[in-house]
């Protein structure tokens, strides 16, 4: 507009300005194009990967809202480290945010975070191929430290013998219960799934409205069906999966859930939904769930008062000889191959996964680093929030059924899109098992997996 | 606009006017053309190049189009978008024209001014923000209109976002966020209808309905076509609404719903940029063909 006004009087000046403007535009375009093509600096082969030239500057750390406290604590204890803390969704529920961003950074050749937390434990299925995750057991982290992680904890981080991430916490499923409420109603904590179902039926009759579990989360299959040894997600190789959702192990658990959903002693809202927090928070009698339910759901989410929540082993099927339980996530920490602050990044990574100051005391979930876990259990006992000991958590950490893996496709996303809408419409889980299998197979195939059924 | 005014300033200027005008015009067009090339044509060309090559840059013909079309989500996504487009374009044409006519009737009064402002407000909110407003509106636990949702039989967020409701929900959201601007545009177009035409209709005894149907709507035709073309292009690229809903519902609804989301998945989740480009090119072809059809059928570029 101003351009046209001036065109009446100062034609020449304005045309000069105009061409300057145009040149500016063109230069911007050229620069953008040039930046996209960005050159690659010379790298040094060390610790099992090509390292970028190291520089001074702030260490960029990506964490989810829960792990923000860890990064802040690190900053407090290490005031001399320049830390740039970025909070993101932690890739929860298969949002793929991290993967999306890394693909973009790979194209622009810059922008990668130095250390990143993910609430998912399947990141290495893409982060290794994308050239993002740095190998950790080739010199960056000493063997002694790695040996102290709980047995099998870092299996999800290992590709062909090389470790590409460190597990933050274990998420073995246990049976949470409200001790005073159980006592008031005169119930005992069930040890078999058969007793669990009977109790659910009794609760529905005697105390309608109270809950023995929740089946409305995207990770519901990882609590119930995994614990029941349902072979829905058996990762048999780097790009191979075996899927069978209609075996007896699957159907008997699905039937149990259907019965309890029908009599309303099992909720289908999901523990993080607004209506659950509003309507069911004080109605929980029993709740099978992962280790982090204690902190994230009961203490922080539902604000259950202290001295109420206790932990028992997850029920087993009668006659089953080997105990088994499920697992819901358990976050991982990745270190970027592209980091130009490897020393600082490694220090942070080591601190955040192993140091008692955070993992041993403050962490909301069960630490994957065994010495920290010991300390964590003591700290939890000392804090006096839980009713009774947390021994069941420790026992369960070694009982996670190994027949359920972490593929590139998100089991949580598949369950949420395939089974959850049907549950809301009143369909039974048993009737949806074949559709669930079909959906897993399709997603696995589209991610390039070889599928056997 | 000021250009025409200033060029009528004096006789001398008027003589030099045409040359100056054409130079100024060229400058304006040049600035636009540069932006168009940088942010429109080059990326499009890049996408077309990607669509016909593989990750290594080798020419692959239509292989990317075939693989993506064979993806199990493709047909579903296309049919979702088709249903959404029908609902969206229908509501756009009927309600925008209806509301604009209503607004024009009320124009003289204070009510008209207030309404014009109200219609426009949602459009002033940024796209994603206004979708977030709706995520609250649709969750019965936190919604200010939860009693209305309850009367309709919805008591949880899960019930509201059942798969069958999605096309309608996205239409409502898109209408609320996007229609206000169009109502104001239509209102402006209605004001451009010559007074004598309206007076003639009035003298001939046409009532409000007849005036609208026989005089105003036919004279709005080009504007409506213009709106449908842009509405079609925007609707076919449906993305923000389902993507945000899928995040808000932790993946229950809205994942892989639209074709554009599928391109996003191809590009970033499956690391298949070439497949994503192939689907984008398909969207471009569909959008351009639809526009061409509408333009040809309506005589959009015919001089009055």
ipTM score for this prediction: 0.76
Cβ atoms A168, A368 nearer than 8 A: yes
Say if residues A223 and A290 touch (Cβ distance below 8 Å). Answer: yes
Query: What are the phi and psi torsion angles at A117 (to 5°)?
Result: -100, 140
Mutation test of the interface with chain B: which of A125, A410, A417, choosing the one with the most B Cβ atoms within 10 A?
Answer: A417
Within A10-155, residue ranges assigned H as helices are 11-36, 68-77, 97-108, 124-127, 143-147
Range A133-144 average pLDDT: 94
Q: Is residue A19 part of a domain?
A: no
Q: A94 pLDDT band (50/70/90 cuts)?
A: low
Element (H, E) at A59: strand A59-63
Q: What per-residue confidence (pLDDT) applies to B56?
A: 78
* pLDDT at B60 exceeding the cut of 60: yes
> What residues in A contact B3, CB-CB < 8 Å?
4, 7
Query: Does the beta-carbon distance from A8 to B252 stay under 8 Å?
Result: no
Residue A58 DSSP label: P
CB pairs under 8 A between A and B: 111
Distance, CA of A222 to CA of A290 (rounded, Å): 9
Average pLDDT over residues A8-21: 43
- Please report the DSSP string for A361-388 in residue order: TT-SSEESBHHHHHHHHHHHHHHT-SSS
Q: Could you tell me if A110 and A201 lie in one domain?
A: no
Answer yes or no: do A150 and A294 share one domain: no
The whole-number pLDDT of residue A267 equals 94
Best CA proximity match to B55, nearest among B264, B270, B280, B279: B270
Residues 209-238 of A with CB under 8 A from B: 216-218
Which residues of chain B does A21 touch, with a Cβ-Cβ cutoff of 8 Å?
A: 31
Neighboring chain A residues of B9 at a CB cutoff of 8 Å:
8
The answer to whether position A394 is within a domain reads: no
Contact B6 A15 (CB under 8 A): no
Interface of A with B in 402-421 (CB under 8 A): 410, 412-413, 416-417, 420-421
Q: Please check the confidence at residue A5 and state whether its pLDDT lies above 50.
A: no
What does the pLDDT read at residue A93?
Answer: 65
**Which whole number is the average pLDDT over B272-295?**
92
Write down the pTM of the prediction.
0.79
Q: What does the alpha-carbon distance between residue A39 and residue A414 come to, in Å, rounded to a whole number?
A: 40
User: Is CATH 1.10.3720.10 correct for B71-298?
Assistant: yes
* pLDDT for the residue numbered A16: 45
Return the residue in A3, A5, A7 with the most chain B beta carbons within 10 A, the one to mutate for interface testing. A7
Question: Domain for residue A383, yes or no?
Answer: no
Nearest to A413 among B23, B255, B268 (CB): B255
Residue A20 pLDDT level (bands cut at 50, 70, 90) = very low
pLDDT over 70 (residue A122) = yes
Query: Which one of A339, A358, A378 terminates a domain?
Result: A378
Q: Within 10 A of B154 (CB to CB), how many other CB atoms are there?
A: 20
Beta bridge partner(s), residue A370: none
pLDDT of residue B33: 94
Binary contact (B34, A412; C-beta < 8 A): no
- Residue B25's pLDDT is 87
In the block, tokens 């407090």 appear at A76
Q: How far apart are CA A20 and CA B56, in angstroms?
A: 39
Say whether B6 and A216 touch across the interface (CB within 8 A).
no
Q: Is there a contact between A275 and B157 if contact means CB atoms under 8 Å apart?
A: yes
A258 and A160 inside one domain: no
Residue A8 lies in a domain: no
Interface of A with B in 89-148 (CB under 8 A): 89, 92-96, 99-100, 103-104, 126, 129-130
Q: Which two tokens stand for residue A437?
A: 């299998």
Place of tokens 């403050």: A362
Which DSSP string corresponds to A271-293? TTSHHHHHHTGGGBSEEEEETTI
- A27 within some domain: no
Report how far apart the first and last C-alpha atoms of chain A are (Å, whole number).
67
pLDDT at A1: 35
A227 & A162 share domain: no
- A316 and A234 housed in the same domain: yes
Q: Each residue of A24-36: b (16+ CB within 10 Å) or e?
A: eeeeebeeeeeee
Alpha-carbon span A285 to B134, nearest angstrom = 34
Q: For chain A, what is the domain count?
A: 2
- Mark yes or no for CB contact A95/B2 under 8 Å: no
Q: B157, A412: Cβ pair inside 8 Å?
A: no
| pLDDT tens string B18-34 | 677 788 889 889 999 99
Least confident of A252-261, A336-345, B195-204: B195-204
Best residue of A6, A13, A30, A275 to probe chain B, by most B CBs closer than 10 Å: A275
Q: Is the residue at A29 inside a domain? A: no
Domain shared by A191 and A323, yes or no: yes
Please tell me whether residues A119 and A196 are part of one structural domain. no
Q: What pLDDT does A392 receive?
A: 92
Looking at residues A201-209, what average pLDDT do you find?
95
Cα B127 to Cα A269: distance, rounded to the nearest angstrom: 29
A16 belongs to a structural domain:
no
Angle at A103 between CA A99 and CA A108, to 5 degrees: 145
A154 lies within 8 A of chain B by CB: no
pLDDT tens for each residue of A147-191 = 999 888 898 899 888 999 999 999 999 999 999 999 999 999 999
Strand partners, A204: none
If pLDDT is split at 50, 70 and 90, which confidence band does B304 have?
Answer: low
d(CA A169, CA A154): 10
Whether residue B20 and residue A11 make contact (CB cut-off 8 A), yes or no, is: yes
The answer on A352 and A336 residing in a single domain is yes
Q: Note the pLDDT of residue B15.
A: 53
Given a cut of 80, whether residue A7 has pLDDT beyond it is: no
Q: What is the pLDDT of residue A84?
A: 94
The pLDDT > 90 percentage for chain A reads 62
**Whole domain around residue A318: which residue ranges?**
173-328+409-452
Evaluate whether A80 touches A104 at the Cβ level (below 8 Å): no
For residues A265 and A351, state if they share a domain. no
Q: How far is CA A233 from the centre of its chain?
A: 17
Sequence-separated (6 or more) residues with CB below 8 Å from residue A260: A197, A200, A201, A204, A212, A213, A215, A266
Tokens of A364: 């909301």
Round the average pLDDT of chain A to a whole number and report it: 87
Q: What does the DSSP assignment read for chain B?
A: -HHHHHHTS-HHHHHHHHHHHHHHHHHHHHHHHHHHIIIIIHHHHHHHHHHTB-TT--B-TTHHHHHHHHSTTHHHHHHHHHHHHHHHHHHHHHHHHHHHHHHHHTTTSHHHHHHHHHHHHHHHS-HHHHHHHHHHHT-TTT-TTHHHHHHTT--SHHHHT-GGGHHHHHHHHHHHHHHHHHHHHHHHHHHTS-HHHHHHHHHTT--HHHIIIIIIHHHHHHHHHHHHHHHHHHHHT--HHHHHHHHHTTTSSSTT-SHHHHHHIIIIIS--HHHHHHHHHHHHHHHHHHHHHHHHHHTTTS--
Residue range B79-127, pLDDT digits in tens: 999 999 999 999 999 999 998 888 888 766 677 778 778 877 777 776 6
Q: Indicate whether A308 and A422 sit together in one domain.
A: yes
Tell me if A215 is assigned to some domain.
Answer: yes
* pLDDT at residue number B18: 66
Distance CA A235, CA A444 (A): 10
Q: Which of A360, A378, A396 is the last residue of a domain?
A: A378
Domain boundaries, chain B: 1-51, 71-298
Tokens linked to B44: 């499009």
| Residues A354 and A221 both lie in one domain | no
CATH number at residue A264: 3.40.190.10
A220 and A131, same domain (yes or no): no
């Amino acid at each position: 507009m101003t351009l046209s006004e001036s065109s009446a009087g100062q034609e020449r000046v304005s045309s000069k300005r105009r061409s300057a403007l145009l040149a500016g535009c063109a230069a911007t375009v050229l620069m953008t194009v040039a930046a996209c093509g960005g050159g690659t600096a010379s790298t040094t082969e060390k610790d099992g990967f090509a390292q970028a030239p190291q520089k001074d500057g702030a260490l960029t750390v990506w964490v989810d809202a829960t792990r923000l406290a860890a990064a802040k604590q690190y900053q407090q204890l290490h005031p001399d480290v320049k830390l740039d803390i970025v909070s993101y969704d932690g890739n929860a529920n298969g949002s793929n945010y991290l993967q999306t961003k890394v693909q973009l950074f790979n194209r622009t050749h810059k922008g990668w975070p130095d250390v990143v937390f993910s609430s998912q434990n399947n990141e290495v299925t893409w982060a290794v191929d994308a050239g993002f995750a740095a190998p950790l057991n080739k010199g960056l982290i000493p063997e002694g430290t790695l040996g102290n992680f709980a047995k099998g904890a870092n299996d999800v981080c290992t590709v062909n013998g090389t470790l590409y991430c460190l597990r933050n916490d274990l998420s073995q499923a246990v049976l949470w219960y409200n001790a005073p409420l159980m006592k008031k109603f005169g119930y005992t904590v069930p040890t078999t799934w058969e007793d669990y179902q009977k109790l659910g039926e009794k609760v529905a009759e005697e105390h309608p409205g109270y809950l023995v579990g929740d089946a409305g989360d995207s990770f519901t299959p990882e609590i119930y069906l995994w614990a029941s040894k349902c072979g829905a997600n058996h990762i048999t190789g780097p790009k191979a999966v075996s899927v069978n959702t209609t075996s007896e192990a699957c159907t008997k658990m699905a039937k149990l859930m259907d019965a309890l959903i029908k009599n309303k002693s099992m909720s289908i809202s999901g523990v993080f939904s607004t209506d659950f927090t509003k309507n069911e928070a004080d109605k929980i009698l029993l709740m099978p769930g992962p280790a982090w339910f204690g902190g994230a759901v009961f203490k922080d989410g539902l604000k259950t008062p202290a001295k109420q929540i206790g932990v028992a082993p997850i029920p087993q099927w009668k006659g089953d000889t080997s105990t088994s339980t499920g697992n819901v996530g358990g976050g991982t920490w990745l270190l970027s191959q592209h980091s130009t602050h490897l020393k600082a990044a490694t220090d942070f990574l080591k601190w955040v996964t192993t140091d008692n100051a955070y993992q041993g005391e403050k962490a909301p979930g069960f630490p994957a680093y065994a010495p920290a876990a010991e300390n964590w259990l003591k700290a939890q006992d000392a804090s006096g929030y839980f009713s009774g000991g947390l021994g069941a958590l420790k026992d369960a950490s070694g009982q996670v059924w190994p027949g359920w893996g972490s593929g590139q496709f998100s089991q949580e996303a598949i369950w949420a899109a395939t089974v959850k809408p049907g549950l809301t419409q009143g369909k039974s889980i048993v009737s949806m098992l074949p559709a669930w299998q079909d959906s897993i197979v399709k997603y696995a195939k589209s991610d390039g997996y070889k599928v056997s059924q | 606009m000021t250009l025409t005014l200033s060029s009528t300033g004096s006789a001398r200027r008027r003589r030099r006017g045409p040359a100056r005008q054409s130079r100024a015009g060229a400058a304006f067009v040049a600035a636009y053309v540069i932006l168009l090339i940088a942010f429109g044509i080059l990326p499009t060309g890049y996408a077309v190049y990607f669509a016909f090559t593989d990750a290594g840059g080798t020419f692959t013909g239509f292989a990317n189009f075939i693989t993506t079309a064979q993806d199990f989500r493709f047909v579903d996504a296309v049919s979702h978008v088709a249903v959404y487009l029908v609902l969206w374009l229908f509501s756009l044409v009927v309600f925008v024209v209806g509301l604009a006519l209503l607004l024009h009737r009320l124009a003289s009064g204070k009510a008209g001014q207030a309404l014009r402002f109200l219609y426009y407000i949602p459009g002033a909110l940024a796209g994603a923000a206004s979708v977030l407003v709706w995520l609250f509106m649709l969750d019965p636990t936190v919604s200010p209109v939860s009693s209305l949702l309850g009367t309709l039989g919805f008591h949880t967020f899960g019930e509201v976002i059942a798969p069958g409701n999605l096309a309608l929900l996205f239409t409502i959201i898109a209408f609320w966020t996007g229609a206000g601007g169009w109502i104001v545009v239509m209102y402006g177009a209605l004001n451009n209808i010559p007074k004598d035409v309206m007076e003639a209709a009035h003298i001939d005894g046409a009532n409000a309905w007849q005036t609208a149907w026989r005089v105003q709507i036919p004279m709005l035709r080009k504007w409506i076509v213009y709106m449908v073309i842009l509405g079609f292009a925007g609707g076919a690229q449906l993305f923000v609404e389902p993507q945000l809903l899928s995040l808000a519902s932790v993946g229950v609804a809205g994942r892989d719903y639209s074709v554009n989301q599928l391109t996003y998945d191809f590009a970033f989740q499956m690391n298949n940029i070439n497949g994503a480009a192939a689907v984008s090119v398909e969207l471009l072809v569909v959008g351009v063909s639809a526009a061409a059809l509408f333009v040809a059928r309506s005589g959009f570029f015919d001089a009055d």
